[in-house]
Amino acid sequence: MLDILQAPDHVAAFRITGTLTEPDFDRLIAEIEAKLERHEKLGILADLTDFEDMTFRAGLKDARYGFGKILQWHRFPREAVVTDKGWIETLVAIASPLVPFVEVRSFKPGAFDAALAWASEIEGGPAA
């Protein structure tokens, strides 16, 4: 399930609980694309504290969207992941140095506000 969270307009913030489905992913992408129309750069915040899995079709869409944006990765300079799951923290630690132009950092659930603040601090701020 996907919840779109309150955040500054130059931040796309989501909470994913349980299993992410294809319709959930479609909503997530629609939110990101709408914000990209208004801002050159976006911070991303994904609260995955209660995330369990994603459907195969959602996973395919995720991969397709991510690779389809490869020439625009510079538009997502900071991605904050809130989690208490070690395997997600490990993926974040591995991915961060491998994704050009993007800083990815994990935060514990108690540091949600810090994660949102960090994701918001992108070059250009709200005018980004």
Q: What are the strands of the beta sheet with 11-16, ordered from one edge?
A: 2-4, 11-16, 43-47, 78-82, 103-107
Rounded Cα distance between 59 and 16, Å, is 14
**Strand, helix or coil for residue 112:** helix
Report pTM. Answer: 0.92
128 residues of the chain, pLDDT tens digit each: 999 999 999 999 999 999 999 999 999 999 999 999 999 999 999 999 999 999 999 999 999 999 999 999 999 999 999 999 999 999 999 988 888 889 999 999 999 999 999 999 997 666 66
